[in-house]
């Protein structure tokens, strides 16, 4: 539930990439982990993974879909649901409008159907560029709609998670999205539909405590930060420093909460194999 | 009734002498046996579980439990559950389904415990699983928010067919302190946050998150626990009868729609 100081990594501004041919030399970025200075185009070609240390930069939903879904097969669902402002927060709607303009996204998740090596799936991809991927009513609705669509179309469901948790600005309504999405997963299970979640950096709070943790198979990218409570809150509560590697993918694997850590370059292939092994 | 501010209600909900789940349980049910443990790790005392009856009707009862004294509070972790508390409740909820007993839950927590062990043992997974499984349990579930209902830690036993709230109880995404700290980077603005968050019973009724507000006895619930218990008991009896009239399919479809529409 807590969008607190989850260690901020360098956000990879892929909007610039779209126009990279117009931009002369000098598009460099520093790796937040090894501090190596990287040429953006090299980074881009390497799935936005640092060629030096393997650090997985955060990805936009658009680039994630490019990496996972066969070219030209993604069909975004048209889901007409308006952002509610249940707490009547000043500036909230305006803030969303500005973000929509800035990111070219309509909300913190992109949902639709697409093919992975010709296998059709329903896919949802959360985007941390949009209010840290937080879940309010629209995100809850889009995820739930996608789950219901997977049931209707009898297609496997894949959800890439990236979220600071439930969206504070929508208060209790955000909290209720946890129940809503989890109830939809219960229905999905009754229908015997395969559900794979992929936890990416960061996955926290109300998203961890709902659909993200309910996959038949739960994958994670290396070294992603994943947890329920944010590290700052835990540190304050227990009054001591957190151990190295706490709440990383590797920590979750060790404690038995994820099935496998998959590097970005292998993700499509692994997803394809899992789809193949789990189809009748 | 509307004269009391949201922040005042937060304070009432947190009073150390506010009636707890066990106070109500002991008053409401003719007989109650507490049963312990998640069968995986331990018996987390921040949630009490057990079986009880009102006349011929048996129930499974689950309640988040704060302590009165410091010693009790340490034992009960100030009513802040670790994952094993949610797994314990899930075990008893599944048992309720097996024996076709309606489930009564009492929500009263500052939130799920944010600790090292909680993360190691999958706090998020435990809450998520409860939300998922509760949505499909084939018996009526009646939820009472009796004190503080904060975050996923409250919701984890809060997916039901009827959700009722005591007049001075609060229910929110996070504590007002946490909310102020995240949104305004200032935890001292908790009073302002409380007013903003729509966390009172009346606000939540208006938002459609709960079904009914239960008026508390004069003063508030602590001044007449027996009367408050009778009010809750009457609602349990009334809604059990009402929900038992539905066949399982209808019950589950209505529960699904209830949250689907939020």
Say if the Cβ atoms of A242 and B262 lie within 8 Å: no
Please say whether the beta carbons of A201 and A223 come within 8 A. Answer: yes
Q: Is the pLDDT of residue A85 over 70?
A: yes
- Domain count for chain B, please give it: 1
> Is position B17 within any domain?
yes
Q: Given this model, what pLDDT does residue A279 score?
A: 79
Q: Is the pLDDT of residue A23 over 50?
A: no
Chains A, B: CB pairs < 8 Å: 165
Q: Is the pLDDT of residue A6 over 60?
A: no
Q: What is the pTM of this model?
A: 0.94
Say if the Cβ atoms of B207 and A166 lie within 8 Å: no
| Residue B186 contacts A where some CB pair is shorter than 8 Å | no
Q: Pick from B123, B173, B259: which is nearest to A166 by CB?
A: B173
Q: Is the pLDDT of residue A181 over 90?
A: yes
> Is position B124 within any domain?
yes
How sure is the predictor about A4, in pLDDT bands with cuts at 50, 70 and 90? very low
Q: Pick from A172, A229, A246: which is nearest to B209 by CB?
A: A172
Q: Given this model, what pLDDT does residue A124 score?
A: 98
Bridge partners (DSSP) of residue A166 are A135
> Is position B82 within any domain?
yes
Query: What are the phi and psi torsion angles at B216 (to 5°)?
Result: -90, 155
Q: Given this model, what pLDDT does residue B2 score?
A: 53
Say how far apart CA B142 and CA A256 lie, in whole Å: 33
Q: Given this model, what pLDDT does residue A213 score?
A: 98
Q: Pick from A173, A189, A257: which is nearest to B207 by CB?
A: A173
CATH number for the domain including B170?
Answer: 3.90.226.10
Domains of chain A: 58-277 (3.90.226.10)
Query: What are the phi and psi torsion angles at A42 (to 5°)?
Result: -65, -45
Domain that holds residue B111: 6-260
How large is the average pLDDT for residues A35-52?
Answer: 93
> Is position B231 within any domain?
yes
> Is position B213 within any domain?
yes
In chain B (262 residues long), the average pLDDT of successive 10-residue segments reads 86 97 98 97 98 98 96 96 98 98 98 96 98 98 98 98 98 94 88 96 97 97 98 98 98 98 94
Q: Tokens 């349980």 identify what position?
A: B25
> Is position B1 within any domain?
no
Q: For the stretch A212-230, what's the b/e string if a residue is b when 16 or more beta carbons lie within 10 angstroms of its beta carbon?
A: bbbbbbbbbbbbbbbbbbb
Q: Is the pLDDT of residue A83 over 90?
A: no
Say if the Cβ atoms of A228 and B256 lie within 8 Å: no
Q: Helix (H, G, I), strand (E, B), or coil: what is residue B53?
A: strand
Please say whether the beta carbons of B46 and B109 come within 8 A. Answer: yes
User: B113 contacts in A (CB within 8 Å)?
Assistant: 237
Q: Helix (H, G, I), strand (E, B), or coil: what is residue A10?
A: coil
> Is position B189 within any domain?
yes
Q: What is the DSSP letter of A132?
A: G
> Is position B113 within any domain?
yes
Say how far apart CA A176 and CA A167 lie, in whole Å: 11
């Amino acid at each position: 539930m807590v969008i607190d100081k989850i260690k901020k990594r360098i956000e990879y501004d892929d909007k610039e990439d779209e126009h990279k041919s117009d931009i002369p030399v000098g598009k460099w970025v520093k790796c937040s982990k090894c501090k190596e200075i990287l040429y953006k185009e090299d980074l881009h070609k390497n799935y936005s993974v640092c060629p030096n240390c393997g650090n997985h930069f955060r990805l936009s939903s658009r680039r994630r879909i490019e990496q996972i879904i066969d070219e030209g097969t993604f069909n975004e669902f048209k889901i007409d649901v308006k952002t509610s402002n249940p707490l009547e927060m000043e500036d909230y709607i305006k803030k969303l409008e500005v973000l929509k303009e800035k990111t070219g996204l309509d909300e913190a998740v992109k949902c639709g159907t697409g093919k992975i090596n010709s296998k059709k799936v329903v896919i949802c991809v959360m985007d941390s560029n949009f209010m840290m991927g937080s879940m309010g009513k629209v995100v809850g609705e889009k995820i739930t709609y996608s789950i219901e669509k997977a049931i209707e179309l009898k297609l496997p469901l894949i959800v890439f998670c990236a979220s600071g948790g439930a969206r504070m600005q929508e208060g209790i309504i955000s909290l209720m999205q946890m129940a809503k999405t989890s109830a939809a997963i219960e229905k999905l299970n009754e229908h015997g539909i395969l559900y794979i979640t992929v936890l990416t950096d960061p996955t926290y709070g109300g998203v961890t405590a709902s659909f993200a943790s309910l996959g038949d198979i739960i994958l994670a990218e290396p070294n992603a930060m994943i947890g329920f409570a944010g590290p700052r809150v835990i540190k304050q509560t227990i009054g001591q420093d957190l151990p190295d590697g706490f709440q990383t993918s590797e920590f979750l694997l060790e404690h038995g909460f994820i099935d496998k850590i998959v590097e970005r370059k292998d993700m499509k292939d692994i997803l394809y194999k899992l789809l193949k092994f789990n189809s009748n | 009734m509307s004269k009391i501010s949201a922040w005042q209600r937060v304070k009432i909900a947190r009073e150390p002498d506010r009636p707890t789940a066990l106070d109500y349980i002991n008053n409401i049910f003719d007989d109650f046996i507490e049963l312990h443990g998640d069968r995986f790790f331990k018996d987390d005392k921040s949630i009490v579980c057990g079986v009880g009856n009102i006349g011929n009707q048996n129930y499974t009862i689950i309640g988040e439990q704060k302590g009165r004294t410091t010693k009790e509070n340490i034992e009960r972790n100030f009513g802040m559950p670790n994952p094993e508390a949610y797994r314990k409740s899930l075990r008893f909820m599944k048992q309720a389904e097996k024996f076709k007993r309606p489930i009564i839950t009492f929500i009263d927590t500052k939130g799920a415990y944010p600790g090292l062990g909680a993360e190691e043992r999958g706090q998020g997974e435990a809450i998520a699983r409860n939300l998922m499984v509760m949505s499909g349990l084939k018996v009526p579930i009646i939820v009472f928010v009796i004190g503080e209902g904060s975050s996923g830690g409250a919701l984890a036993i809060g997916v039901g067919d009827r959700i009722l709230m005591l007049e001075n109880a609060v229910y929110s995404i996070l504590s007002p302190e946490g909310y102020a700290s995240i949104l305004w980077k200032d935890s001292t603005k908790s009073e302002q946050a409380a007013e903003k968050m729509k966390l009172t019973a009346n606000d939540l009724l208006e938002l459609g998150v709960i079904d009914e507000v239960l008026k508390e006895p004069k003063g508030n619930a602590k001044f007449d626990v027996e009367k408050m218990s009778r009010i809750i008991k009457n609602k349990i009896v009334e809604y059990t009868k009402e929900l038992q009239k539905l066949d399982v399919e209808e019950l589950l479809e209505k529960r699904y729609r209830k949250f689907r529409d939020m």
